[in-house]
Chains A and B, each alone.
Chain A
Amino acid sequence: MTSGNKKRKNRRSPIGYIVVIVIMATLLSLLVYEHYHPIRKLPAGTWIREHDLSAVTDQAIHEWLHSAETGLTELPEADHDTVTVNVILRIDADGGYSQQLDTASYEAAAECAYRNLEKSLRSVISARFTALGMTDESGLPDADIDMLMRDAVGMSMDEYLHKAVPDIMPSQEELADVLDRSGFCRIDGDLISFDNDAGQVFLSDSGRLLIGDELYTEVRDEQ
């Protein structure tokens, strides 16, 4: 009877192999596909970017100083710092988003703009005094200008400029009108669109988000 049993061997089904191969191939295909066509997720989180107001404030400075061109055939150049405000973008996992102007950064930007204006005004004052021969070619020292300001208007240059040029920047309300918005956003391929607009290419990578040509930095809550 043993010889009959010895003749019976276990045969494995080929279907199992096929299933495993198919699954492996599918997974591999998905990996390849994912590599070349990655599945995008909404960049949920809080993001912040800088909105450059330098051109706007430089224009305001130029217009205010224009009246002082008497006696000068060209305005002397002064080194200006970049004037920026922060814009905060929040994106929820379900696609809701809100964007708004960071009011704290607005105050800082305004002070930067006034510092730029002060630099330019001091430069023009010095140039006018030099052109009139009331000082030598090295110009009028800042300390002398400060003393003349006290005598002329009873305040510092900074205080004077805040009073004389109150609108060196667009108002907070005007900027908020332009920058503040909220609604829903969605992903379509590699485009992100806000409130059904045309969509912009976006990239996100380790704490940075690029939407169109605007670069956001992720704001991580400190724990």
Chain B
Amino acid sequence: MEKELRLMKGNEAVAEAAIRAGADGYFGYPITPQSEILEYLMEANPEETTGMIVLQAESEVAAINMVYGGAGCGKKVLTSSSSPGISLKQEGISYIAGAELPCLIVNVVRGGPGLGTIQPAQSDYFQSVKGGGHGDYKMIVLAPASVQEMADFVDLGFELAFKYRTPVMMLSDGAIGQMMEKVYLSPQKKRMTTFPDWATTGKKATRPRNIITSLDLESNGQEIFIQKLQDKYNLIKEQEVRYQEFQTEDAEYLLVAYGTSARVCQKSVQIARAQGLRVGLLRPITLFPFPSKRINELADHLKGILSVEMSAGQMVEDVLLSVNGKVPVRHYGRNGGIITTPEEVVENLKSIFIEA
């Protein structure tokens, strides 16, 4: 079936894509700059068409625990929020990882800490990829750089979540969430009619009862379980690294940027090339797993790497680990809801690596 062209905000694209992906439930709580997701779903009222449940919870805490309950039934469920709300969800995310439940969590990031700003930022990188909740867990983190990807990563997120029985986070930001672009929407998928054998759907005589829990009071059992989780994360590292390169073939300097910053840096590459500088861009699409191997390979032919983020410097640590001292790695970023311009990136690249 042909894809449908629409002009939409990133937030609206997530909502529409969730319906079309055959999601069973969305549980959310209003917070700027992502409230359009809940609003769009309430307006669309998919319960009438696909049967998808949309519920405004009493808090982000309740919403993520509703996701736990739904995911425990083997259903395709998602929630969305923005930074302060995602902080509240961390307990639930840790439990979801511990109970090995598949789900999608969308973070339309705003600046922080605290109440911060409602403007876009990328300052939740550490929280997302280093484990925002307690315990030895990871989640797959997808970083959309366009409205199209905000739609596409809903389906991809669910696919990966169920493949690995793991929470998947879509780490967007207020800019992509609020921005309108063309988006090609996939046709409506049917909701699942069969459920994983581990799901709590009512114990049949043919199987033992299913238990969804993250508790193991016996230390040996818990250690074995934690190792099993790490094996899963290692498999994800082997199989699910995604990234995109722009003009890296002959690059002497590499920009590494994701999401909105990657869009900005694409233009920075054009500006720099027009000035005769051989600059390329690597855009991580998965932040966990991080494209460390590819960055390390590229580093063999580079004079320097500039990690560009709307933060005080978070992803730069993973870039540093990736190259392990091969080439100088520096950070450039703006904070507090300010989006860097393409020109600023080029100016900073020059002042850091060339004029210095």
Please indicate whether A and B come from the same complex rather than being unrelated chains: no
B interface list, Cβ under 8 A from A? none
Residues of A in contact with B (beta carbons under 8 Å apart): none
